[in-house]
Structure 1
Amino acid sequence: MNRLFARNALLPEGWRKDVLIEWDANGTIVRAEAGAALPSGEQVVAQIVEYALPGMINLHSHSFQRALGGRTEKAGDAVGNLKDSFWTWRDLMYRFARNITPEHIEAIAAQLFSECLRHGYTSMCEFHYVQRAPDGAMYPRPAETAERVIAAARLAGIGITMLPVLYSYSGFGESALKPEQKRFKTDPQDVLRVIEALEPLRDAQTEVGVAPHSLRAASVAQINEVLLTLPGDRPVHIHIAEQKQEVQQSLDWSGRRPVQWLLDQVDVNERWCLVHATHLMRDEVDLMAQSGAVAGLCPTTEANLGDGLFPLEDFLAAGGRFGIGSDSHISQSAVEELRWLEYGQRLQHQRRNIAVSAEQRNVGDFLWQGALQGGAQASGRPVGALAPGRRADVIVLDDQHPNLYGLALDEVLGSFVFCGNDNLVKDVMVGGRWVVRNQQHVAQQAIAARFKQTLAELREFR
């Protein structure tokens, strides 16, 4: 039996002292007991740590965009009212995606995943839409690029939920795709073929769901067609109401806002993750919360692209569930996402300490536990808690760092999330296997070398 003894561990019910965690050969927790005695004699323990937390779930990732980070931060030449926005950024991203190969996709994903692990993520939900060759043809293996991302996850040692994307149109009303979108084109049968091809790869570390890209890119009829075949327990993710222009286009076409249209036409429930959902009316907030769907929030990307601020306070008051993702990966830090989720609300409402509940008044604890629960739900995997039946995904904090010196237990997560910019994640275990030690990924140098070579090759296509 594999064992870890934590002087302090974050269990589902909160911080507890002297916690013995045991997991089986498959990487599943079989025991997480507070108030335990330190094993002695023949009952050896693998490691004794001061602070152990469940690893965070990154519920929204476009891994290939990691290689684009920092390369879009130059203002374009605005003509008239055409200012830099999500839409001008998207044009740059399309040009970047034009020349990327499956080998590049794997190398970039491995680099991203190793970085995410070092910053406290132990699971990824990959919203995967680069599925065709540069000329628009399907690869001989229809799941070629998705398999590459899964291979990268296995190399890095991170859990993954692969979400092949349904992407048929360029806008509301089934507008034809633009030439620069030809690598993303899929219809329901394409997506179902990819899902079928990925079935042998499903295991304790890998799940497969689906992602209609958005109501701009997939029709309700197509979404329902895919859902008729997809097993009922698989996760479903969708971009929605990210931009005001998108909302207006939906109104012009259907007379309804995107979230209203989706909830009216599709059975949205706990298996769904509505990504961004930035621009909502109050009735949409309440209906979305009532559906049981998770709000997939990506504050660093939403800020970087000028999307706006999610109505978190109203959503939480309505009983809504949330998780976090790093989306375009201009940050790979779970702490930064949670920090800016709260700070955005403080700036908007000009108050402090907003993400709390009647039962949990500590913002750091509320955010971490809430994002764990929502992220686990959105991933469709047994993660997000140090509890029997869940994966042995554990992050260990650096108890020697000054930011954690002399703190009461109910201050630890507040300091971790809100104090300073040092990475306090020291060691990381995924599925019972240590993949980060002393802030270094076990394959960091080899992965980084391959990533650098990929960057060099891609920059030849400028």
Structure 2
Amino acid sequence: MKIFSNRAWLPSGWRENVRVSLDQGVVAGIEDNATAGAADIRVDTLLPALSNLHSHSFQRAMAGMTEFRAAGQDSFWTWRTLMYRFLDHLTPDHMEAIAALVFMEMQEAGYASVGEFHYVHHQQGGHPYDDRAELSTRILAAAAQTGIGLTHLPVLYSYGGANKAELSGGQLRFGNSVEDFSELLGAVEAAMTAMPSDTRLGIAPHSLRATAPDDLAEVVSRHGNGPIHIHIAEQPREVSDIVDWLGERPVQWLLKHQDVKPNWCLIHATHMTQTETASLAKSGAVVGLCPITEANLGDGPFNGPAYLGAAGAFGLGSDSNIRISLTEELRTLEYSQRLRDLCRNVMVNGAGSVGKTLYLGAAAGGAQALNRKAGKLEIGCLGDLVAIDSTHPQLCALHGDQLFDGLCFAADDRVVSDVWSAGCHMVKDGRHIQRDRITANYCRAIRDLTNALNA
């Protein structure tokens, strides 16, 4: 397959009339100042596509259901209670149909791959399925339907809260001991043999509050060679609970007691001291930022300027999937910093394009977090590519690096024309090639699910 673009962003900068060759999912050749071949796929502007590094796909079906203010002050914790009630009615068929829609929407928004932080493992009440990996195989099936690049991240969730509180209610569907979790990973590995070669497997100890120090050490020792993702320091109450239990703040404790390296991804890391911020950046780990969800849940803004100033790696995720939009994640990250600091153009070191800093930083960090050789348009990298239309009214006045700024701050996802996931051309003219079938399956599943919720 060959793609001809009017312009493309390469590691060396903007280049004109670029011809890209893809072979077995990998970029095999790049020519600039080239001439298009008769059979080439023609696009306007070609960029490395981003990885969506943090998703709980099933929560997409809850979008709009939790925006009613209950008596008293609503918070992350009241939202979580409603999420547990929702889980009581979720079946494997629902899970697959919802995940397929989510993955399709991600690709139409410009993402080529996803890290699925998957923590629903069991039947209602906590009883394992006959196949312990039943729900993971549904995530794999959804990825196969859509063609999205998948890093599957089964979650170890053993306790209901800090200090080894017992699981209860909806949490029972998440629970595994370290031994059960190891069995689950073995079953997932077996199922993954039928998946494309770019599919990856990692682990996700859910959080310090849902594991324990000995369990965390054991699971990392057994299964920590690939990606390791963990929620951390998302909410002030979480920070105080961990301080009361372990005697240190979550990020402080993790950096002291685990060998946090570049294969780690710390999700949210919202509430950090300046010392924690600098130390986390120095570790080489990626911070997984989910600006739309963090705003929706009232988590608070990330310590962006200090982290960026310390050369920290970051990527973007859509988390609860209440709104799947690459452009909106980018701008929400920057705007959260502006609102806190009362100034403009915050997420850039020194002078330069904020949009370029955000986009290319998220491309590199997301690929690192998902263990994908991607995030740049370079020979030997996976063909994770996105084409945007610079002639669209939202971008047509812009040129050069302003295209990054326009994409981040002026455009919406309608400017995305094409997406390739590991060389598979899944979005054409802004539309996923399986959109009709995936959407019909989702609508059937959601009717069944809402009928059960309202019964």
Q: TM tier, shorter chain?
A: over 0.9
CA distance in 2, matches of 1:407, 1:7: 15
2:405 partner letter? G
Q: Which residue of 2 aligns with 1:160?
A: 150
- Deviation of 1:422 after TM superposition, in Å, equals 5.6
1:85 partner letter? S
Say which of 64, 68, 71 aligns to 1:74.
68
Q: Secondary structure at the match of 2:180?
A: helix
Whole-Å separation in 1 of the counterparts to 2:427 and 2:182:
35
What is the aligned-residue RMSD (CA, Å)? 1.4
Residue aligned with 1:449, SS = helix
Q: Counterpart of 1:222?
A: 215
Q: Which residue of 2 aligns with 1:4?
A: 3
Q: In 1, Cα distance between the equivalents of 2:5 and 2:442?
A: 35
Shift of 1:405: 1.6
Q: 2:117·2:204 contact (CA, 8 Å) conserved in 1?
A: yes
Compute the displacement of 1:13 (Å): 3.3
The answer to whether residue 393 in structure 2 is matched with residue 395 in structure 1 is: no
Q: Structure 1's 422 and 146: CA in aligned 2 closer, same or farther, altered over 3 A?
A: closer
Q: Given that residues 305 and 346 in structure 2 are in contact (C-alpha distance below 8 angstroms), is that contact kept between their aligned partners in structure 1? A: yes
Are 1:38 and 2:35 matched, yes or no? Answer: yes
1:427 to 418, 424, 439: 418
Q: Which residue of 2 aligns with 1:188?
A: 178
Kindly state the Cα deviation for residue 224 of structure 1 after the two structures are TM-superposed. 1.6
The amino acid of 2:275's aligned partner reads: D
Residue 21 of structure 1 corresponds to which residue in structure 2? Answer: 20
**8 Å CA contact 2:84, 2:169 repeated in 1:** no
Alignment of 1:417-456 (within 5 A): 417-421=408-412, 423-456=414-447
> Secondary structure at 1:461's aligned position in 2?
helix
Q: Is the aligned partner of 1:368 residue 2:359?
A: yes
Give % identity.
44
CA gap of 1:71–1:5, structure 2 versus 1, over 3 A, is same
2:207 match: secondary structure: coil
- Counterparts in 2 of 1:44-63, with a 5 A limit? 44-63=38-57
Q: Distance in 1 between matches of 2:363 and 2:415?
A: 18
Counterpart selection for 2:104 from 98, 114, 122: 114
SS of structure 1 residue aligned to 2:401: helix
Equivalent position amino acid for 2:370 in 1 = S
For residues 39-84 of structure 1, what are the alpha-carbon distances to aligned partners after superposition, in whole Å with 9 as ceiling and x for unaligned?
55xxx54212220111111010000000000110001122xxxx10
Q: 1:454 to 1:209 in 2, by over 3 A?
A: same
Q: Point out the more displaced range, 395-404 or 156-165.
A: 395-404
The SS at the match of 1:303 is helix
Cα displacement string for residues 271-297 of structure 1 (whole angstroms, at most 9, x for unaligned residues): 000000000011100111111110100
| Equivalent position SS for 1:256 | coil
Structure-2 change in CA distance of 1:247 and 1:400 (3 Å): same
Pairwise CA distance, 1:306: 0.5
- Match of 2:321? 329
Contact 2:228 2:263 in 1 (8 A): yes
Residue aligning to 1:259: 251
Asked if the contact 2:117–2:153 (Cα under 8 Å) also holds between the matched residues in 1, the reply is yes
Match of 2:276 in 1: 284
Task: List per-residue Cα deviations over 1:304-360 (Å, max 9, x = no partner).
Answer: 0000010000001111110000000111111111100000111111111111134x7
Code of the aligned partner of 2:287: A
Shift of 1:111: 0.6
| Aligned amino acid, residue 72 of structure 1 | T
Aligned to 2:188: 198
2-structure distance, mates of 1:49, 1:426:
8
Residues 21, 28 of structure 2: 8 Å contact kept: yes
The range that moved more, 192-201 or 437-446, is 192-201
Task: Supply the distance in 2 between the matched residues of 1:6 and 1:49 (Cα, whole angstroms).
Answer: 5
* Equivalent residue pairs, number: 450
Structure 1 residue corresponding to 2:331, chosen from 336, 339, 345: 339
**1:409 partner SS:** coil
* Shift, 1:32, TM fit: 2.5
Letter aligned with residue 51 of structure 2: I
Q: Which runs of 5+ in 1 are unaligned?
A: none
Give the structure-1-normalised TM-score. 0.95
Map residues 85-104 of structure 1 onto 2, 5 A cutoff: 85-104=75-94
Q: 1:315 aligns with which of 307, 321, 346?
A: 307
| Distance (Å, rounded) in 2 between the aligned partners of 1:8 and 1:19 | 6
Q: 4-13 or 324-333: which moved more?
A: 4-13
Cα contact 2:395–2:411 (8 A) shared by 1:
no
**1:177 equivalenced with 2:183 (yes/no):** no
Letter in 1 for 2:345: N
What is the Cα deviation at residue 389 of structure 1? 1.8
Aligned partner of 1:348 among 322, 333, 340: 340
Contact 2:228–2:264, Cα closer than 8 Å, also in 1: yes
Match of 1:377 among 349, 368, 385: 368
Q: What's the counterpart of residue 270 of structure 1?
A: 262
Change (3 A) 1:13 1:186: farther
Gaps of 5+ in 2: none
CA distance in 2, matches of 1:279, 1:422: 30
Q: How far apart, in 2, do the equivalents of 1:290 and 1:398 lie? A: 37
